[in-house]
């Protein structure tokens, strides 16, 4: 039983390390702005009804911690919008 628990713990650590220190970085500046708007609504600074579509879906599906990681990504070398291809 302890061996199983230790293996699971190691697997969880590996998975956490694979995501990196920032968790999930934003792919574009637009995604980062949408996450920032959703985070603002999540904290109660803006109304959730005023959110546009991308940030509205982020607001309902992501936790505050996840939004912080996404919005806190460095903007350097990020495109304004990510292309579809």
Residue spans per domain, the chain: 24-74
The pTM is what? 0.65
Residue 22 has pLDDT above 50, yes or no: no
Residue 83 has pLDDT above 90, yes or no: no
Report the mean per-residue pLDDT for the chain: 83
Q: Are 32 and 55 in contact (CB under 8 A)?
A: no
**Cβ atoms within 10 Å of 82's Cβ, excluding its own:** 13
Q: What percent of the chain has pLDDT over 90?
A: 41
Task: State pLDDT tens for residues 25-62.
Answer: 788 888 999 999 999 999 999 999 999 989 999 999 99
């Amino acid at each position: 039983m302890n061996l199983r628990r230790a293996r699971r713990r190691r697997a969880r650590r590996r998975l956490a390390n694979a995501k990196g220190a920032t968790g999930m970085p934003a792919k574009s500046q637009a995604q980062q702005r949408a996450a920032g708007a959703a985070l603002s609504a999540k904290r109660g600074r803006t109304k959730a009804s005023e959110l546009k579509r991308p940030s509205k879906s982020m607001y309902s599906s992501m936790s505050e911690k996840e939004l912080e990681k996404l919005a806190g990504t460095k903007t350097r070398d990020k495109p304004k919008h990510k292309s579809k291809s």
